[in-house]
Amino acid sequence: MEKYTNFQEKINNNVIEIQNANVYQNEHKVFENLNLKISKGEFLYLIGDTGSGKSSLLKALYAEIRVSSGKIIIADTNLNKIKHKAIAKFRRNLGIVFQDFQLLNDRTIYENLKFVLKATGWKKKEKINERISDVLTSVYLENVKDKTPHQLSGGEQQRAAIARALLNRPQIILADEPTGNLDPEKSDKIIKLLKEISARGTTVFIATHDYLIIKKHKARTIKCVNKGIIEVDINTI
């Protein structure tokens, strides 16, 4: 895995830095000459019309699609130079949250979380149990570990998905429409939770189309437009 070797490259406190990047998906250019810097512990939104590139940008950040030119540095890792076999280890620095939760429905919440820890190299049972307890407490789900996803509400399932994203103490959480399947009350609780996580020092980057949530929980907002991004004042949208 490629790390910064030149001190001058490491910009103060940035955990995401994209410089002059072109991003393609399925031979289609999604972004051209893209530039973006995001700081440690920052909470921000990504908005844009359907097809404008929100999901593609998140995929570029977790190395699902590659940048063809320019530079993309995530959590001190240069994704232009990362080898395929190093991607799984790199992703331990990230927590990824999806709209549809992607929990294993035939397993309890405890088993869902244990599966991730075992897959990422955790071996000692007491350490696994301690970590699962810690993350479930942090998302206010300490009493549901023995339930399966279908026994939980949509909001509880999304909190369980966030707990899963937190397991390996990521520097960054990337959330793709995390409130898309939730009603306004549950959406509000999820955004408050993600803001709490950001306040503890984890960068949280949320792709969303929910302008009501953004206006209620104001933060830096970036919009995908014309194969690029611009910063916007949510009050003017």
pLDDT at 8 (0 to 100): 37
* pLDDT for 151: 95
pLDDT at 12 (0 to 100)? 56
**For the whole model, what pTM was predicted?**
0.86
Indicate the residue type of 154: G
pLDDT the model gives residue 2? 40
Query: Which superfamily is assigned to 42-64+85-236 in CATH?
Result: P-loop containing nucleotide triphosphate hydrolases (3.40.50.300)
Work out the angle between the directed axes of helices 125-138 and 154-166 (0-180°, nearest 10): 130
Return the structure tokens found at 224: 């995908």
CA distance 185 to 112: 26
**Three-class secondary structure of residue 20 per DSSP:** strand
pLDDT at 223: 95
**In this predicted structure, what is the pLDDT of residue 66?**
81
Residue spans of the domains in the chain: they are 42-64+85-236
- List the chain pLDDT tens, one digit each, 237 residues: 444 333 334 445 899 999 999 998 888 888 999 999 999 999 999 999 888 889 899 999 998 888 888 889 998 899 988 888 899 888 888 999 987 778 889 899 999 999 999 988 888 999 999 999 999 998 999 899 999 999 999 889 988 999 999 999 999 999 998 888 888 888 898 999 999 999 999 999 999 999 999 999 999 999 999 999 999 988 777
Question: What does the pLDDT read at residue 181?
Answer: 81
d(CA 176, CA 174): 7
Residue 7: how many other CB atoms lie within 10 Å: 6
